[in-house]
Chains A and B, each alone.
Chain A
Amino acid sequence: QQQVKQSPQSLIVQKGGISIINCAYENTAFDYFPWYQQFPGKGPALLIAIRPDVSEKKEGRFTISFNKSAKQFSLHIMDSQPGDSATYFCAASMRDTGRRALTFGSGTRLQVQP
């Protein structure tokens, strides 16, 4: 599997602040970049996803920024809430080549302090 690098490993943010998680990829064949949220003992849940033909996508408090030339993408969580405390994974896949299987980043444990 091609690697997707994620940082930081952990993040502490005050309530109302902005949480920013970054990912970088190597394989230019990746064409689909989702972010997943995982709570302890649960499976990942899709938060938001982006294709490389756009540079930004916003859904509610969650925004993905995508930089194709730098092969980087990031998740911004605005107005972070204690309920957002979870582990976040970026991922990538090559949908157009038929490889839908996701390659995951290493995860970021977010803690939002009240």
Chain B
Amino acid sequence: GAVVSQHPSWVICKSGTSVKIECRSLDFQATTMFWYRQFPKQSLMLMATSNEGSKATYEQGVEKDKFLINHASLTLSTLTVTSAHPEDSSFYICSAGAGNPNSPLHFGNGTRLTVT
């Protein structure tokens, strides 16, 4: 089945630094990728939609200058958390879908970010 790989699986960084999270589709071309954020024991909240070769579309309330998304190829999207603060600590999860809009979305295993 379709596999989405996310890296790193966990990261600890200091306040004020930036962290990059990678999301790769391993066996299919992902024209669209989605980034979610999940706090402990809560649901997944959509942050942004990333389309290959174009600017990401951010959900209301998500700071695009803080959460930089790049989708430079059909198999890779990156999320960079800039100038991280402790309140950015969360579980970040990406999902990807192939070009067919009826194809299911597959999720990565998430990245646990802890900002100290």
Chain A positions near chain B (C-beta within 8 angstroms):
1, 34, 36, 41-46, 49, 89, 95, 98, 100-107, 109
Contacts and interface: CB of A to CB of B under 8 A. Distances in A.
Contact of B109 (A36, A42, A89): A42
Say which size band chain B's interface belongs to: 20 to 34
Given A41-B110, A43-B108, A43-B109, A107 B101 contact: no
Contact of A46 (B32, B102, B105): B105
A48 to B, nearest CB: 10
B39 to A, nearest CB: 11
Nearest to B57: A101
B43 A104 contact: yes
Name A's interface SS.
strand
Interface in B68-116: 93, 95, 97, 101-102, 104-110, 112
A102 B110 contact: no
Interface string B23-64: 000000000101000000111111001000000000100000
Contact of B46 (A1, A95, A105): A1
Contacts of A89: 43-44
Interface of B: 4, 6, 32, 34, 41-46, 49, 59, 93, 95, 97, 101-102, 104-110, 112
A1 B47 CA distance: 11
Nearest to B106: A46
Contacts of B105: 34, 46, 100, 102
Nearest to B109: A43
Contacts of B41: 107, 109
B44 A34 contact: no
Contacts of B44: 44, 89, 102, 104
B112 A106 contact: no
